[in-house]
């Protein structure tokens, strides 16, 4: 497998789903209905898949700062991974039914902990099922394992670094939310509307085509040209969204194009507005 290409097809997964070194992870989740993903998993999932929950397993409890889905403590995350049989020598394939947003969060977290053999299944569970691929309601047999983290601190940007990046021509901030939230027309979730001053907008769902599949490298290259051109001239890119989840498909897509050094502001907008002194911009940049 090309480690630069983190996307695998359902056909690829079908051919390998019973291999002993593979762990398939179901990451389905619904914001506002936190038990929906686990309930959907109990009804049907890809055979052998284990379930990891965005809020219970892949985030820390919410505090004053850190955003709505704070990064999990690395040791706690490593324990959660080991509990479902993920060790450092396993190949991980994640899927969801939410356009790859939650699967991409797991992809990012595993890479942050130093694990490279992690992939996201294209198109998601609904397409897998509708295509007549096998599903089951059987609970997987899990052999617990241990996962030893080797944290890549350089993948992360914290609020201080983002504060320092404002007005810094060496850094490009990228907001992954939809345009109406970016310009501050509406804000359904967080305390303030708008974006971090200087950030450009690149809505994360635009990494997908009209059928919900990941775009080709050629299409992604065209879509991301403002970001890749900046990086090609030596600028650093920091990607954020509302809570550090939907930015992950943008990070993954840029990685796929050969830009593995983009950084995630994990707390994102929900962390940014938790500091009253942080400036807020509205409208287009």
Report the catalytic residues: 241
Of the candidates 162, 155, 168, 158, the residue with the CA atom closest to the CA atom of residue 255: 155
Q: Where are the alpha helices (DSSP H) in the chain?
A: 10-16, 36-43, 74-83, 101-112, 125-130, 159-165, 179-183, 217-223, 225-232, 247-256, 268-272
CB-CB contact of 270 with 242 (8 Å): yes
DSSP assignment letter at 45: B
**Residue 274 CB-half CA count within 13 A:** 17
């Amino acid at each position: 497998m090309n480690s630069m290409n983190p996307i695998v097809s359902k056909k690829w997964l079908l051919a390998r789903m019973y291999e002993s070194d593979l762990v398939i992870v179901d990451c389905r989740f619904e914001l506002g209905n936190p038990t929906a993903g686990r309930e959907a998993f109990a009804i049907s999932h890809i055979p052998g898949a284990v379930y990891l929950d965005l809020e219970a397993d892949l985030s820390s409890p919410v505090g004053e700062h850190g955003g709505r889905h704070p990064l999990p403590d690395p040791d706690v995350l490593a324990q959660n991974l080991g509990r479902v049989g993920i060790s450092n020598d396993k190949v991980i394939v994640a899927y969801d039914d939410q356009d790859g947003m939650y699967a991409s969060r797991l992809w990012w977290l595993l890479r942050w902990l130093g694990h490279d053999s992690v992939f996201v299944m294209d198109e998601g569970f609904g397409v897998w099922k509708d295509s007549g691929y096998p599903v089951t309601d059987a609970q997987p047999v899990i052999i617990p394992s241990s996962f030893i983290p080797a944290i890549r601190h350089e993948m992360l940007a914290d609020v201080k670094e983002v504060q320092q990046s404002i007005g810094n021509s060496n850094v490009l901030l990228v907001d992954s939310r939809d345009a109406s939230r970016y310009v501050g027309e509406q804000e359904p979730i967080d305390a303030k509307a708008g974006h971090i001053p200087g950030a450009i907008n690149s809505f994360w769902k635009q990494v997908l085509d009209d059928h919900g599949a990941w775009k080709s490298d050629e299409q992604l290259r065209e879509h991301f040209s403002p970001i890749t051109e900046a990086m090609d001239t030596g600028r650093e890119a920091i990607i954020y969204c509302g809570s550090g989840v939907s930015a992950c498909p943008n990070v993954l897509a840029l990685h796929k194009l050969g830009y593995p050094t983009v950084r995630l502001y994990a707390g994102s907008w929900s962390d940014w507005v938790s500091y009253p002194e942080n400036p807020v911009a509205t409208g287009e940049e």
